[in-house]
């Protein structure tokens, strides 16, 4: 489980808190502790255990990047390459790259007896940010705690303080640009994919998904909140693990505390 134990962090221009704080596997889309090979526009995993990211990460005066082993087992083999280009100056007001990890183990089942969810209340939150910037996309891991299709959940995105969703999707598979529960299939495209599927629609079923908005970034002037339902009107209690990727002007809002190691390890939780 070194993919969950090793934590990647980055600070730009001497900021007090990191703009990236993510377990390394999750940062590269390996949300459940296992390696698998896939290719997308912004992340790719190549043989053998080669993790690659192609995000631009601008900084003006300094960049500080660390990898910390928070586990009990020593990592004996690690290599890395960071490519950068020096320029005379950055464009004025350019945003800084951010990546934030979140999880719900398990997601909290809704108390909504009507079975309707129009406002996004009790949705799983991928990202909540304040400032000016644009949302790039998300990687998302699911560990099923019950049989059935986990993805009858709509994406709901709130921009600049809108009380109702600015963007309201029609289902999890639709947000990830697939259809009909992916039919249990694996696929990896430039901007969307489900490159890892094990025992779909069964207890213990595992999915890793991603969606990049690189064809049209979701911009915000004051704030953004990116959410998705877990099941229809949040009626499921599966485990969700996610990383949101975005750019914004600093300062950024304080990140939620990174869960401790034991809480990050994927485990089926029997629910009723």
CA distance linking residue 75 with residue 8, whole number of Å: 14
CA distance linking residue 168 with residue 152, whole number of Å: 13
pLDDT for the residue 182: 94
> What b/e readout covers 33-51, taking b as 16+ CB neighbours within 10 angstroms?
beeeebebebbbbeeeeeb
Is the residue at 113 inside a domain?
Answer: yes
The model carries a pTM of 0.97
Is the residue at 196 inside a domain?
Answer: yes
Say if residues 117 and 222 touch (Cβ distance below 8 Å).
Answer: no
pLDDT for the residue 112: 83
Is the residue at 28 inside a domain?
Answer: no
Is the residue at 109 inside a domain?
Answer: yes
Is the residue at 211 inside a domain?
Answer: yes
pLDDT for the residue 113: 66
- The domain tally of the chain equals 1
Question: Quick one: tokens of 139?
Answer: 């990687």
The 8-class DSSP code of residue 114 comes to T
Say if residues 210 and 29 touch (Cβ distance below 8 Å).
Answer: yes
- Across the chain, which has 272 residues, the per-10-residue mean pLDDT values are 97 97 98 98 96 97 97 94 94 95 96 85 96 98 97 96 95 95 95 97 97 95 98 96 97 95 94 63
Is the residue at 44 inside a domain?
Answer: no
Question: Cα–Cα distances in Å, from 62 out to 44, 55, 57, 86, 208?
Answer: 26, 17, 11, 12, 33
Would you tell me how many other CB atoms lie within 10 Å of the CB of residue 117? 19
Residue range(s) defining the domain that contains residue 129: 95-264
pLDDT for the residue 272: 59
Q: Which residues lie below 8 Å from residue 56, measured CB to CB, with a gap of 6+?
A: 97
Is the residue at 258 inside a domain?
Answer: yes
Is the residue at 272 inside a domain?
Answer: no
CATH number assigned to the domain comprising residue 212:
2.60.120.1390
pLDDT for the residue 114: 79
């Amino acid at each position: 489980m070194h993919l969950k134990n090793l934590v990647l962090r980055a600070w730009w221009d001497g900021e007090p808190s990191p703009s990236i704080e993510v377990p390394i596997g999750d940062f590269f889309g390996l949300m459940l502790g296992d390696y698998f090979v896939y290719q997308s526009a912004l992340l790719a995993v190549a043989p053998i255990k080669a993790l690659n990211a192609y995000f631009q990460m601008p900084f003006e005066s300094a960049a500080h990047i660390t990898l910390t082993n928070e586990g009990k087992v020593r990592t004996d083999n690690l290599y890395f390459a960071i490519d950068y280009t020096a320029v005379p100056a950055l464009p004025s007001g350019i945003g800084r790259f951010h990546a934030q990890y979140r999880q719900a183990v398990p997601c909290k089942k809704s108390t909504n007896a009507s079975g309707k969810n129009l406002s996004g209340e009790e949705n799983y939150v991928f990202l909540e940010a304040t400032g000016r910037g644009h949302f790039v996309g998300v990687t998302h891991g699911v560990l099923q705690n019950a049989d059935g299709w986990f993805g009858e959940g709509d994406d709901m995105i709130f921009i600049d303080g809108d009380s109702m969703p600015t963007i309201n999707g029609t289902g999890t598979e639709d947000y990830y640009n697939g259809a009909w529960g992916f039919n249990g299939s694996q696929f990896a495209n430039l901007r969307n994919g489900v490159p890892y599927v094990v025992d779909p629609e069964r207890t213990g079923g595992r999915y890793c998904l991603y969606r990049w908005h690189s064809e049209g970034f979701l911009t915000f002037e004051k704030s953004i909140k990116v959410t998705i339902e877990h099941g229809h009107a949040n009626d499921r209690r599966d485990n969700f693990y996610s990383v949101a990727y975005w750019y914004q002007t600093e300062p950024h809002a304080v990140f939620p505390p990174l869960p401790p190691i034991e809480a990050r390890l994927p485990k089926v939780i029997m629910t009723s």
